[in-house]
């Protein structure tokens, strides 16, 4: 099937595959993921007589908050310190997954360009004006 591929292209394709598999392994080993971001924020407690109600400098905290989109809505959740630490790791993992996936797409596109060039009819490259699928089908009917 890949008999037409030059040694250089076969090597490039093999290199793409190695990098692709390495990245896929990284994904396989990733820990829990969570979307959203963490921030520190001071809060009002809601009691009308508390100093925090009128003086921003006397608000409580600061506390960690998670801001995330759930079903298209932005939700905000106050977190305890240990919860914030867990979310920090999960959010970092989520960013790693997205970065690895983006890299996999880039490598896949590189590999696909090599594969598609190799699959062009009669060893000609697609960009040099290969036959359209219609004319290929017509040619197949004629030779049948
Ligand atoms: Zn208060």
Q: Is the pLDDT of residue 143 over 60?
A: no
Tens of pLDDT, residues 27-76: 999 999 999 999 999 999 999 999 999 999 999 999 999 999 999 999 99
Predicted pLDDT at 119: 78
CA of 117 to the centre of ligand 1 (A): 68
Ion ligand 1: protein residues whose beta carbon lies under 5 Å: 45, 50, 52
Q: Is the pLDDT of residue 132 over 90?
A: no
Backbone phi, then psi, for 142, in 5-degree steps? -60, -40
More confident residue, 127 or 88: 88
Q: Kindly tell me the sign of the dihedral angle through the C-alpha atoms of 94, 100, 102, 105.
A: negative
Predicted pLDDT at 3: 57
Averaged pLDDT of the chain = 87
Locate 85 and state its tokens. 């630490």
The percent of residues above 90 in pLDDT, for the chain, comes to 75
CA of 55 to the centre of ligand 1 (A): 10
Q: Is the pLDDT of residue 144 over 80?
A: no
- In angstroms, the first-to-last Cα distance of the chain is 22
Stated pTM of the model: 0.70
Q: Which helix (H) or strand (E) holds 66?
A: strand 60-70
Tens of pLDDT, residues 10-31: 999 999 999 999 999 999 999 9
CA of 73 to the centre of ligand 1 (A): 28
CA of 78 to the centre of ligand 1 (A): 15
Distance, in Å, from the CA atom of 86 to the CA atom of 102, rounded to the nearest integer, reads 25
CA of 52 to the centre of ligand 1 (A): 4
Predicted pLDDT at 118: 83
Question: Residue 128: pLDDT band by 50, 70, 90 thresholds?
Answer: very low
- What secondary structure letter does DSSP report for 63? E
Distance, in Å, from the CA atom of 129 to the CA atom of 131, rounded to the nearest integer, reads 7
Q: How far is CA 60 from the centre of its chain?
A: 37
Report whether 63 contacts 79 (CB < 8 A). Answer: yes
Q: How far is CA 58 from the centre of its chain?
A: 42
């Amino acid at each position: 099937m890949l008999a037409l591929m030059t040694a250089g292209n076969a090597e490039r394709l093999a290199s793409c595959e190695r990098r692709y598999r390495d990245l896929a392994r990284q994904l396989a080993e990733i820990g829990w993921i969570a979307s959203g971001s963490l921030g520190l924020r001071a809060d009002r407690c809601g009691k009308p007589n508390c100093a925090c109600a009128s003086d921003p400098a006397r608000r409580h905290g600061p506390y960690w908050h998670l801001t995330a989109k759930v079903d298209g809505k932005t939700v905000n959740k106050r977190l305890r310190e240990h919860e914030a630490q867990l979310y920090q790791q999960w959010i970092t993992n989520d960013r790693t997954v997205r970065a690895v996936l983006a890299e996999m797409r880039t490598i896949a596109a590189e590999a696909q360009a090599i594969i598609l060039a190799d699959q062009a009819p009669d060893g000609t490259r697609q960009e040099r004006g290969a036959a359209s699928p219609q004319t290929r089908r017509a040619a197949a009917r004629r030779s049948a």
